[in-house]
């Protein structure tokens, strides 16, 4: 008999979140099952093997859309094509980085004798920079038969696949229904209730502000959804209604919406904040890194081939 593995055991064994598992299932990459005596997702050996394949491909930064192509096509032709393209992309980026390094070194050589403390040297530096720019525009280089603006070309190509810029948003104080104590089972139950609740207010999706957030605490995930200020716990199926403090958040979009992409986005936000007058609010103060699913419909997800997930990092002005 094919042994079924509980979702908690899968997340623990492979170090991924329950949300990532559900995401892979929503995208048609794996299939779970249910038993009569157990209310939550279970996975058989085939699903576990497929999950291992997914995790390997994600470690290689293969997109969800390409993973779908690989699984939907028999044989190894597509996976070889995808991996071959990945090698070519890496080679191209390495070449661009080497070229960018040469450009920066050339600029350093032009300015190494300048003194930023002297107005005359700063003016000379500006003229030297214009001269370098002119050289970059008009020079031919190996691998490109046309005259191009090398600096712009290199930086544009290096940034072509980067995540969107971080933005700062102010979330308002409000009432939130919450799934309760951190646990996977609470999140799934809350999800079922929310799905029914949300059907009656589809126009809410037209609002600019996100209506729900997911965050991880010790022991599992907690899901919150914005409700009207006079909403009671009884009206929310018995789920607790809390006062959400709101505040300032740094926000960036995770391209694929699974755990791997989210971790990269968090690192980008943390690095980006180093150059600003903000600092991250401590978890001890009651603030959490939160996530919000952008796509309100399957149509958008199908068009993109993946979900978009916004990561919210709580911040404040530096002391």
Domains of the chain with bracketed CATH: 5-72 (1.10.1660.10), 77-159 (no CATH), 167-317 (3.20.80.10)
- State mean pLDDT over 143-153: 45
The pLDDT of residue 307 is above 50 = yes
pLDDT-derived band at 250 (thresholds 50, 70, 90) equals very high
Q: How confident is the model at residue 2 (pLDDT cuts 50, 70, 90)?
A: low
pLDDT average, residue stretch 305-315: 82
Residue 117 has pLDDT above 80, yes or no: no
Rounded distance between C-alpha atoms, residue 255 and residue 267, angstroms: 14
Q: Which residues contact 192 (CB under 8 A, 6 or more apart)?
A: none
* Residue 1: predicted pLDDT: 44
Q: Mean pLDDT over residues 58-62, rounded? A: 82
**pLDDT of the residue at 204:** 44
Please check whether residue 179 is in contact with residue 186, taking contact to mean a CB–CB distance below 8 angstroms: yes
The pLDDT value recorded for residue 148 is 38
Contacts 24+ apart (CB under 8 A), 297-306: 301/26, 301/27, 304/65, 305/63, 305/64, 305/65, 305/68, 306/27, 306/63, 306/64, 306/65, 306/255, 306/256, 306/257
The DSSP symbol for 297 reads S
Lowest mean pLDDT among 31-40, 62-71, 167-176: 31-40
Contacts of 68 (CB under 8 A, 6+ apart): 27, 28, 29, 305
Mean per-residue pLDDT over the chain, rounded = 77
pLDDT band of 203, cuts 50, 70, 90 = very low
Residue range 68-97, pLDDT digits in tens: 899 999 888 999 999 998 888 888 878 877
Assess whether pLDDT exceeds 70 at residue 249: yes
pLDDT average, residue stretch 26-55: 84
299 pLDDT above the threshold of 70: yes
Please report the pLDDT score of residue 70 as a whole number.
92
Would you say residue 240 has pLDDT above 70? yes
- Least Cα distance to 151 among 164, 127, 134 occurs for 134
Question: Confidence band (pLDDT; 50, 70, 90) for 207?
Answer: very low
Q: What distances in angstroms separate CA 227 from CA 175, 205, 276, one per listed residue?
A: 6, 13, 33
pLDDT at 136 over 60: no
Is residue 141 predicted with pLDDT exceeding 50?
no
248 has pLDDT over 90? yes
- Bridge-partner residues for 243, per DSSP? 175
The per-residue pLDDT for 146 is 38
Q: What token pair was written down for 17?
A: 């979140």
């Amino acid at each position: 008999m094919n042994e079924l593995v509980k979702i908690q055991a899968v997340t623990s064994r492979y170090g991924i979140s329950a949300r990532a598992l559900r995401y892979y299932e929503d995208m048609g990459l794996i299939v779970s099952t249910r038993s009569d005596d157990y209310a939550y997702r279970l996975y058989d050996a085939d699903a576990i093997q497929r999950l291992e394949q997914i995790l390997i491909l994600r470690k290689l930064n293969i997109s969800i859309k390409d993973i779908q192509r690989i699984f939907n096509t028999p044989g190894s032709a597509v996976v070889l094509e995808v991996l071959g393209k990945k090698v070519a992309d890496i080679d191209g980026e390495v070449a661009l980085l080497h070229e960018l390094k040469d450009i920066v070194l050339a600029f350093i050589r032009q300015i190494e004798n300048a003194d930023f403390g002297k107005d005359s040297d700063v003016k000379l530096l500006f003229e030297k920079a214009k001269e370098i720019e002119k050289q970059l525009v008009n020079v031919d280089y190996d691998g490109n038969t046309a005259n191009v603006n090398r600096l712009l070309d290199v930086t544009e190509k290096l940034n072509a696949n980067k995540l969107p810029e971080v933005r700062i948003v102010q979330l308002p104080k409000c009432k939130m229904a919450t799934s309760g104590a951190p646990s996977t089972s609470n999140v799934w139950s809350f999800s079922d209730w929310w799905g029914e609740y949300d059907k009656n207010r589809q126009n809410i999706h037209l609002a600019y502000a996100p209506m729900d957030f997911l965050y991880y605490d010790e022991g599992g995930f907690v899901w919150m959804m914005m409700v009207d200020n006079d909403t009671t716990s009884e009206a929310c199926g018995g789920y607790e209604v809390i006062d959400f403090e709101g505040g300032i958040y740094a926000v960036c979009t995770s391209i694929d919406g699974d755990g791997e992409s989210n971790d990269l986005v968090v690192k980008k936000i943390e690095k980006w904040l180093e150059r600003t007058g903000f600092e991250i609010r401590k978890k001890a103060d009651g603030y959490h890194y939160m996530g919000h699913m952008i796509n309100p419909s399957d149509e958008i997800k199908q068009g993109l081939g993946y979900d978009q997930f916004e990561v919210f990092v709580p911040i404040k002005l530096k002391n």
